[in-house]
Structures are given as structure tokens and as C-alpha cells.
Amino acid sequence: MKMKATLIVITGPSGVGKQSVIKTLRQMMDKEGISHTFSVSSTTRQPRPGEVGGVDYHFRTLRDFEEMVSWQQFLEHAKVHDNYYGTEIAPIQQSLDCGESVILDIDVQGATTVRQVARDRNMPLIDLFIAPPFPEIEILRRRLQGRGTDPEHVIEKRLRNATGELARKDEFTHVVINDELQGAAEQCLRHVKACLFA
Ligand code: 5GP
């Protein structure tokens, strides 16, 4: 059956486990021979220990980031928890032209923008909101603290933003609760396959 190259937008609050879900989902897609790639975002955030430039993010200075904005190199860009993040258009278009779907890990504002742009440009898109199980904020707090990568004031800011993001989950086509990683990734895979092979 023919597969249509699609933007696969994965969104949800900070700490919900989007990166782990995406990693597992990608392994599943590889096993099923579903051709895809991951959109490496640009950010002005400082790298965390272990993060690799060009793999996890393209780490940019604010000046470089602003220049990319002025050259309209981003499909979307947003300020998220005090730093800038953006999705470059060129590599995405290149992958789609080669028949590869592209997975995006972006925040709720970015996901909303991408949906609008994709609609205007007639690009196939599926969006999935990854939500924590109840009690939602408490679970996010535990996960962010357990991750140990951000100071307490940054965690508090991310949790404040999470309340607004969770309130918007029904705007997205699919909501997947990440209470167990394998199960959450399998659900995402089912939705993705249903879209790609429709
Ligand atoms: P973190 O700093 O924890 O890596 O990411 C913070 C938030 O920014 C996450 O919710 C992540 O999904 C989001 N994010 C990562 N890349 C992008 C991007 O290119 N655009 C937007 N709008 N959000 C992004």
C-alpha cells in the first residue's frame, strides 16, 4: 500500500516524556519499514549535560536565531519557558519531497502554528498530544524533578505553563496518555499508520 509522507507532530507539556515516546515510536517505525526522519529544532537554550549539537538540537546564539527568523527559515518558532525554539523549513521540505515522513517534537503553540501552515500549504499532517496520567501536574513535577536536568525555578515555570497546555489538549486530533511508555508508543504508532496508509 502507498504511504504518504506526512508531518507527524508530537506535542504535550514539558516532562510528559515526548522524547522517550518518540524514541520508542521511531524504533517501531523502523521495524515496520516506515521511512521517516526527525526534525532537529534550533534553540537558544543552553545544552544540558549529554546533549549533542546537531542531534538533540541545533544550539544557536540569540543573534543567529533572530537572523534565521528574519530570513524566514522557520516553519514555526516560539518562545518556550524563556528560550526560543524553531523548526527549520528546508530539511523538512527535503524529507517530504523524498517521501519520508518527519517527526516534530514541539510545544503546543508551535504545534498550533504548524497545523495552520500545513493546512495552507496542503501538507499532510497528523498531530498527537501526549498527556500525563492523573494527577497530571503532580506526575509532571515528579518526572521533571526525577530527570534532574533543571533547577527548581525552571521546573515551577514549566509546571505553570503545563496547566495552560493541558487545557488545550482537546484541540489535537489524538490524545495519548503516557502512563506506560511501550503502550503509549504503540498507540501513537497505530494512529500514525492509520494516517500514513489512509
Ligand atoms: P526542552 O527545553 O525541554 O528540550 O524543550 C522545551 C519545550 O520546547 C518542549 O515542550 C519541546 O517540545 C519544545 N520544543 C522543542 N523544539 C521546538 C520547536 O522547534 N518549536 C517549538 N515551538 N517548540 C519546541
Q: What is the CATH number of the domain that holds 77?
A: 3.40.50.300
Atom of ligand 1 nearest to the CA of 149: 3
In a domain, 191, yes or no: yes
What residue's CA is closest to ligand 1, atom 12? 106
| Interatomic CA distance for residues 66 and 145, integer angstroms | 32
Using pLDDT thresholds of 50, 70 and 90, give the confidence band for residue 1: low
Is 197:3 a contact under the CB 8 Å cutoff? yes
Atom of ligand 1 nearest to the CA of 105: 12
In a domain, 182, yes or no: yes
Considering its fold, how many domains does the chain have in total?
A: 1
In the chain, % helix, strand, coil (3-state, to 5) comes to 45, 20, 30
- For 127, the domain range is 7-196
Using pLDDT thresholds of 50, 70 and 90, give the confidence band for residue 2: confident
In a domain, 1, yes or no: no
pLDDT higher than 70, residue 182: yes
In a domain, 16, yes or no: yes
CA distances for 157 relative to 80, 82, 181, angstroms: 10, 9, 25
Per-residue pLDDT, averaged over 59-63, amounts to 98
pLDDT higher than 90, residue 16: yes
Q: Give the pLDDT confidence of 165-180 residue by residue, as tens digits.
A: 999 999 999 999 999 9
What residue's CA is closest to ligand 1, atom 19? 86
What residue's CA is closest to ligand 1, atom 14? 106
CA 116–ligand 1 middle distance (angstroms): 18
In a domain, 2, yes or no: no
CA 134–ligand 1 middle distance (angstroms): 23
Which of 80, 112, 128 has most ligand 1 atoms within 8 Å of CB, for mutation? 80
DSSP 53: B
Cβ 14 under 6 angstroms from ligand 1 = yes
pTM beyond cutoff 0.75: yes
In a domain, 121, yes or no: yes
Cβ 80 under 6 angstroms from ligand 1 = yes
